Structure 1
């Protein structure tokens, strides 16, 4: 068994155990394999193990992979990095999801640039749940108005929320932030029923995020190894 195959199996087992210990149904939490900086061959290997959703945050690197792997059916590409307004066309034309939407200008450009031949671009609204001034994301109190603006734009579909919580070992602080995210997401779903995704949790806090209601976790190094 290759390193990627072994790592992927361990991550999937960890995900299943986390769901079980939290009383969640198996399969209720999806895995986004963060393949940024990794070669297309690794992504294809992971694909043949059953993974379909991959996260990228460097547009040129991602574009090369998307082109190289266009023969694979059912691949789902998620852009998970900060997006500059002059780079929106590449995301609009080549990705299935944008997970880091936090500016109206970006939303409008994506809406205008999404080809009619493609399904609506799925978007997650990024929340700055820790309220750190250096972080991307809208503040929680801005969510309702921002989500309404995005939902009014053609070619975009609001699919939920995403956050990168505070970098802390204080479990109580993390739990509070994850619980607030879940409450925001529940409120959002009452207005936007398609918002079925709450993306939070990475390698270090996967179990806690799932316990607090995450529906997607983002795992990179534990599958593909450290960045080269």
Structure 2
């Protein structure tokens, strides 16, 4: 995650070989993409944060990925607002695997997940890539492992209907080994790259 980090640090990470950058503030992400797109067109920009329906246009126009999709309304707006000359927006369905009231995402229920996946699959300017979750922030490794394993099962269940899915987005700098062992294909390791946010 490159949120709150200056453009100079993003460029330094790019020059070291990093190509995927994640933002979770709409305006901040938009300004960075606009500033960097001419000189660094191969950066893959990922939006990983809560999204209000009145901000979908920015995501649809500027980002390559949206990891926190959990509502049909947002999916429809992103599809309508995606510029036709751009490739479909890659999306992951966010699952509230910890079932915390403070977190967004669908409950870990296969029926609800499949229903939203079916809607996304019907929208021509979106490309369903997989699932995303933020497990409980805790020192309880057993609980974290349970949630990560549950996500892996949900992902594998959805792959039965949509075998093209290739992304299980979960894990951060402090639990990336456990997440990868549980099938994660994309981890968010901004603090490991940039240092802790001040």
Runs of 4+ in 1 over 4 A off after TM superposition: none
Matched residue SS, 2:171: coil
Under a length normalisation based on structure 2, what TM-score does the superposition of the two structures give? Answer: 0.95
* Whole-Å separation in 1 of the counterparts to 2:196 and 2:165: 32
Structure 1 partner of 2:143: 173
Helix, strand or coil at the partner of 1:180? helix
> Which residue is 1:31 aligned to?
none
Match of 1:85 among 53, 62, 86: 53
1:55 correspondence with 2:22: yes
Q: 2:194 aligned with 1:194, yes or no?
A: no
Structure 2 residue ranges without an equivalent (≥5):
none
Q: What is the TM-score with the length of structure 1 in the denominator? A: 0.83
- 2:57 aligned with 1:94: no
Q: What is the distance in 1 between the residues matched to 2:195 and 2:113?
A: 35
Matched, 1:112 2:74: no
Q: Pick the aligned partner of 1:129 from 97, 105, 109.
A: 97
SS at match of 1:78: strand
Q: Secondary structure at the match of 1:200?
A: strand
Please give the alpha-carbon distance, in whole angstroms, between the structure 2 residues aligned to 1:177 and 1:111: 30
* CA distance in structure 1 between the partners assigned to 2:107 and 2:60 by the alignment: 25
Q: Distance in 2 between the 1:134 and 1:69 partners? A: 33
SS at match of 2:67: strand
Unpaired segments of 5 or more residues in structure 1? 1-33
1:151 aligns with 2:129: no
- Correspondence for 1:218 among 160, 163, 188: 188
CA distance in 2, matches of 1:73, 1:115: 17
- Which of the pair has the greater relative contact order for Cα pairs under 8 Å at 6+ separation? 1
SS in 2 for 1:134: coil
Offset, 1:89? 0.1
Bigger shift: 155-164 or 133-142?
133-142
Q: In terms of Rg, which structure is larger? A: 1
CA–CA distance in 2 between the matches of 1:66 and 1:73?
Answer: 9
How many residues are aligned here? 195
Per the alignment, residue 74 of structure 1 pairs with 42
**Deviations 1:131-159 (CA, angstroms, capped at 9, x unpaired):** 11221000121111111111111200110
